[in-house]
Amino acid sequence: MTKTSSVISYRFGQVQLTVTKTNGAISAIDYGNSSATNGRAAVFPILTQWAISANSSSFSNYSGATFTTQAFQQALSNALSKF
């Protein structure tokens, strides 16, 4: 089952995630509609792995990407709330 978050706008861009759950666990996250300025988008693959490992939006902040991490977590929570 797949659900898409609302668009979360923040200081450096926007985050919209499409989350796939298999057997009750996050199995994939697509961040293709997300953007971040000045190379900040490079953190999206890392945040994706952390979210899949945590199976939630409760994971640590990525140092140097606080606002991007917070926007990602907010978008992830929004998508998860739709399941």
Specify the CATH number for the domain of residue 45. Answer: 3.90.1010.20
> For the segment 42-80, what is each residue's pLDDT rounded down to a tens digit?
999 999 999 999 999 999 999 999 999 999 999 999 999
Q: Are the CB atoms for 71 and 65 separated by under 8 Å?
A: no
Structural domain boundaries, residue 64: 2-80
Q: Which residues pair with 18 in a beta bridge?
A: 4, 30
> For the segment 20-43, what is each residue's pLDDT rounded down to a tens digit?
999 999 999 999 999 999 999 999
- Count up the domains in the chain and report the number: 1
Kindly give the residue spans of alpha helices, DSSP state H, lying in 1-83: 44-54, 66-80
DSSP 6: P
Residue 49 half-sphere exposure toward CB, CA atoms < 13 A: 5
Supply 11's token pair: 């200081």
Q: Which residues pair with 22 in a beta bridge?
A: 25
